[in-house]
Amino acid sequence: MTTEQNYFLTVAIINLILAFSGTRIKDPKGKQKCTAFFIAAVSANCLSWFLYVFDIGVILKIISAILSATFIWGMVVFSYRRCEQPLPITPISLIFTLNCLALGYFTYTSHPNKALHVSAFFVPLALFMIAYLFLKKKQDKNPSDLIFAYACCVMAIVVVVRSLLLEMSPNIFSVTIVSSQIIWPAFSVISGVFTLLSFTEEIQFKLQKESNTDQLTGLANRRSMDYLLQQEWAKADRHQRTLALVMLDIDFFKNYNDHYGHQAGDDTLKKVAQVLLDSVQRAGDVAARYGGEEFLLILPDTDALAAQSIATKICQSVAALDITHQSSPFETVTVSAGIAVFKQQNYSTVRDLLMATDAALYQAKNNGRNQVQVIPLETK
């Protein structure tokens, strides 16, 4: 085999390995199936390169060109499904067909330069579509998604520049022929590796999120709460900022469970948790399940008045749910809230701040429940 044939075989094997690796990846649960399209696209690219290992005639060259277009547009289809966007089947099919017809015609008539110009239009179009989907449309983007998207942008620019050089400076273009033999295999590896890594990172992120989330309510769990609270305490202490805690408790919840059953109790916990989530809008605010029917809001850069306003709205919103509670004097599900604010080192430790918040909640319950109580700032 010649050096050139060894090169084509090596690139084909690389794509074959990527296609096989794709078979080891499972589509994320609850999302569109997309790995099959990745495998098909990379397999087409593998076969496109593999054909050139042999001395092929014009018909096989046309097939190879069509397979290379299949790789590019197959990755477009994969990207639409990976990013969970509706696939515009008709426009994509039409563009793909035009791409194949143009490549096939110029390959048949032995006009490789014109075939290159065709690719300089269709390939960047496809690559910029992929980049747009991953950069703008995909939810929960991870670093591998971004690397893949930027690689598509770079490759699109390279293809266009080579087409322009062919017309403007043929001498320089001839120099880029060698570099193109490196760029395309490199792009295949980058797109394949980081596409597959994206699935792994997504699974890791999901596992991390689940480990920090209360499975019933969707709020931060106790482990996550402890960590985030310690972080916010350190920031507030270091930068002389305020930190408000709001502890909430569902009134007479044990009686509610005894009367309506634990399933109804779980449903109520979910509804109250949703009220809390709707009430914390800022990026740094945290709503956590403290334990049982108790919840905690962590509100950085929030003074007592603002925290009291948030807690009051929560109490009103929970009451507005109008969940019947015959074992409560209010005859509906309500919550009580206690507030303490860290300001100017008025508490020595996080534990002291939590104990003050709990004391405020105890006071709210002693005063009749369904209300908000605030520990005065001078308390230590």
Closest CA to 297 of 355, 330, 248, 349: 248
* 125, 162, 286 from 175: Cα distances, Å: 25, 10, 57
For 106-117, how does the pLDDT look when each residue is reduced to its tens digit (9 = 90+)?
999 999 889 889
Phi–psi pair at 362, nearest 5 degrees: -60, -40
- Average pLDDT of 27-43? 87
Kindly tell me if the per-residue pLDDT of 73 is higher than 60: yes
Residue 156's nearest CA partner among 65, 88, 75 is 75
Q: What is the spatial distance between Cα 101 and Cα 115, in angstroms, rounded to a whole number? A: 11
Place of tokens 């939810």: 139
* Range in 18-27, 162-171, 213-222, 283-292 with the lowest mean pLDDT: 162-171
Q: Is the pLDDT of residue 28 over 80?
A: no
Longest dimension (CA), the chain: 91
Q: Which residues contact 281 (CB under 8 A, 6 or more apart)?
A: none
Tell me how far the alpha carbon of residue 172 is from its chain's centroid: 42
Mean pLDDT, rounded, for 354-359: 96
Query: Rounded to two decimals, what is the model's pTM?
Result: 0.69
231 band by pLDDT with thresholds 50, 70 and 90: very high
Stronger pLDDT, 14 or 211, i.e. the higher one: 14
Which amino acid would we find at residue 177?
I
Nearest to 202 by CA among 156, 148, 155, 150: 148
The answer regarding whether domain 3-211 maps to CATH 3.30.70 reads: no
Task: Dig out the tokens for 8 from the structure.
Answer: 């084509």
Tally Cβ neighbours within 10 Å of residue 21.
16
Location of each CATH 3.30.70.270 domain in the chain:
222-374
What's the CATH code, domain 222-374?
A: 3.30.70.270
pLDDT of residue 173: 55
Q: What is the structure's pLDDT at 209?
A: 78
Q: Which residue in the block uniquely carries the two structure tokens 């960590």?
A: 227
Per-residue confidence (pLDDT) for residue 179, from 0 to 100: 59
pLDDT exceeds cutoff 60 at 199: yes
Encode 308-345: b = buried (16+ Cβ within 10 Å), e = exposed. bebbeebbebbeeeebebeebeeebbbbbbbbbbbbee
Comparing 186 with 150, the larger pLDDT belongs to 150
CATH 1.20.1070 residue ranges of the chain are 3-211
Instruction: Give me the sheet containing 372-374, strands edge to edge.
Output: 286-291, 294-300, 243-250, 335-342, 372-374
pLDDT at 246 over 90: yes
pLDDT at residue 71 tops 50: yes
User: What pLDDT shows up at residue 379?
Assistant: 44
Q: What is the mean pLDDT of residues 112-123?
A: 91
